[in-house]
Structures are given as structure tokens and as C-alpha cells.
């Protein structure tokens, strides 16, 4: 078994973006080795589940959803920072979800979705569940808003469900939507954006919980320099990456605030 650490960039890694993620990792790896990190893996880990990767004590660099970060990962990982994406709906260090419906659907506002079928990638998702819950909470009645929920397992699958008519709406994070529109317009051409959710910090880059301050500093410097390096412009453009900034778990407390606000409005569970 290799003694190398483990790396994964799997939050935005469909088959049509893997070559860009591989190129980004190759560039990052060179900087990390030059900075003195000896156990940099040659490639990205794509076989293990994301949860297994997040909790692996050999994790050098990964990326997680903000909601698991604040609800279950806690002190088991170290937050390295958060990226900036040059895509519609994003701003420096922040993103949001786009509530999408079929292009020909009659809906004109969020409240029009009452009683419809919503697709979500998972109940542990900030962009697919938590932000959507906060967005529709003011329109809920007796703890309910949607008529049915369809759990798809992935944002792209939720997008496909809406386009195919298997669901009426879904909250898809603006990075996934923007990347699909850029590289696979066939995935977005059958839908339109009805509304936007509140914003939240972008998906954090993380390391193993026992990573030293020196190691975190090296990772932050390597990410900043790699994304800014014109030599990596093609890969970064493909991934929508425009920048990076250090972050801490406290930056993601807003996700729990949205959860609490939805509960205060009588809508503690997406339903």
C-alpha cells in the first residue's frame, strides 16, 4: 500500500471535467512537493466514497459540502479555504443555488411551487436541501410546502429529473449549473432558472484534522498560486475557478443560521 497521502477534488468532477481536475492536481502537486511535502499523491482518489475520503486520516486535500462540515465533520477535519468561481450566481468566496423548472412550466415565483414535486441530491446537502428549505420556508403551511420529494443522489441527476418531467423543480448549486451550461449545454437547455436561494460560502477545501499549521499554510499558498498562475488558466477556466481565500469552519455558521431561521418559520424539515 502506498505511503502517499490522499487527495480528491470530487465535488465538481463529472467525467467531462476529470481531465481539468487532473491538470489542476498535477500543478498543485508540483508546488506542494517543491514546498517540502513528501507524501503528495500522483493522482486523485476517485474510488472511495466522499465520506470515507473526508474522514481519512491521510487526507492531504479534499473538498466537502458546507452542511456536513457544520453538522457532522466538526473537529475531524481542518478547513483550508474556499474557492471563488467565475460563474453566474457566484461572487468572491460565495455561491448560491438556482431553483430550476422546465422551460415550459407555468411557474413564475417560488410560491407557485407549493404542492409540486421537488428533486434534491440529498438531505445532507446545503445547496440542494438547506438553502432550498430556507428559500421556501416563508411560504410553507403547517410544516409543508412541496407535494413530494424525489431524492436523486446528485445535482446533475436532479437537473435531469426536472428536464425529463420526473420532478417539477430542484435547487442546483450555481457552480454545477454554470459548469454544465458551459461544457454540456444539453443538460441545461430544457430548464430555466425560476429563482435564487440565499448565498453561502463556497464548498470548502479541507485537510485531515491533525494537519499542522505549517501544512495548512503550504496548502493555502499552493492553491492561491496555482489558481493565479497563467500556466494553469485552461484548467481553471474549465473548472470556473477564479481565486482562493483562506477560511475557517466558523465562516460556515451561516448554514446553521439558515437552518434555525427555517425552523422559526415553522419549516424545520424540507417537506
Residue range 118-175, pLDDT digits in tens: 999 999 999 999 999 999 999 999 999 999 999 999 999 999 999 999 999 999 999 9
Query: pTM of this prediction?
Result: 0.95
C-alpha cell at 89: 450566481
Residue 4 has pLDDT above 90, yes or no: no
Q: Can 6-85+203-255 and 94-201 be said to share one CATH topology?
A: yes
- Note the pLDDT of residue 90: 97
The pLDDT confidence band at residue 2, using thresholds 50, 70 and 90, is low
Residue 1 has pLDDT above 70, yes or no: no
C-alpha cell at 109: 415565483
What are the two backbone dihedrals, phi and then psi, of residue 137, each rounded to the nearest 5 degrees?
-55, -40
Q: Pairing between strand 6-7 and 169-173?
A: unpaired
What are the two backbone dihedrals, phi and then psi, of residue 189, each rounded to the nearest 5 degrees?
-70, -20
Domain 6-85+203-255 has CATH 3.40.190.150: yes
Distances (CA, A) of 163 to 102, 119, 257: 6, 11, 32
Helix, coil or strand: residue 95: strand
- For 228-270, what is each residue's pLDDT tens digit? 999 999 999 999 999 999 999 999 999 999 999 999 999 999 9
- For 169-209, what is each residue's pLDDT tens digit? 999 999 999 999 999 999 999 999 999 999 999 999 999 99
- For 24-60, what is each residue's pLDDT tens digit? 999 999 999 999 999 999 999 999 999 999 999 999 9
Q: Domain extents for the chain?
A: 6-85+203-255, 94-201
Residue 77's DSSP bridge partners are 208
Domain 94-201 has CATH 3.40.190.10: yes
- For 75-96, what is each residue's pLDDT tens digit? 899 999 999 999 999 999 999 9
Amino acid at each position: 500500500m502506498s505511503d502517499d497521502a490522499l487527495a480528491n477534488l470530487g465535488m465538481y468532477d463529472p467525467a467531462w471535467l476529470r481531465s481539468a481536475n487532473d491538470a489542476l492536481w498535477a500543478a498543485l502537486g508540483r508546488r506542494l512537493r517543491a514546498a517540502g511535502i513528501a507524501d503528495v499523491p500522483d493522482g486523485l482518489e476517485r474510488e472511495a466514497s466522499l465520506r470515507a475520503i473526508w474522514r481519512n486520516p491521510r487526507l492531504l486535500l479534499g473538498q466537502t459540502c458546507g452542511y456536513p462540515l457544520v453538522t457532522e465533520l466538526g473537529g475531524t477535519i481542518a478547513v483550508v479555504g474556499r474557492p471563488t468561481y467565475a460563474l453566474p450566481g457566484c461572487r468572491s468566496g460565495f455561491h448560491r443555488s438556482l431553483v430550476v423548472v422546465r422551460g415550459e412550466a407555468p411557474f413564475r415565483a417560488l410560491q407557485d411551487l407549493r404542492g409540486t414535486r421537488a428533486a434534491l441530491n440529498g438531505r445532507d446537502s446545503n445547496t440542494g436541501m438547506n438553502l432550498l428549505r430556507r428559500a421556501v420556508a416563508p411560504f410553507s403551511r403547517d410544516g409543508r410546502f412541496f407535494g413530494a420529494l424525489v431524492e436523486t443522489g446528485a445535482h446533475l441527476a436532479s437537473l435531469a429529473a426536472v428536464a425529463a418531467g420526473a420532478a417539477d423543480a430542484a435547487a442546483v448549486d450555481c457552480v454545477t449549473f454554470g459548469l454544465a451550461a458551459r461544457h454540456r449545454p444539453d443538460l441545461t437547455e430544457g430548464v430555466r432558472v425560476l429563482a435564487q436561494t440565499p448565498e453561502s460560502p463556497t464548498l470548502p477545501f479541507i485537510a485531515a484534522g491533525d494537519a499542522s499549521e505549517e501544512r495548512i499554510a503550504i496548502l493555502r499558498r499552493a492553491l492561491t498560486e496555482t489558481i493565479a498562475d497563467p500556466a494553469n488558466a485552461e484548467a481553471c477556466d474549465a473548472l470556473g475557478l477564479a481565486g482562493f481565500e483562506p477560511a475557517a469552519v466558523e465562516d460556515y455558521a451561516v448554514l446553521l443560521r439558515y437552518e434555525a431561521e427555517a425552523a422559526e418559520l415553522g419549516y424545520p424539515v424540507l417537506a
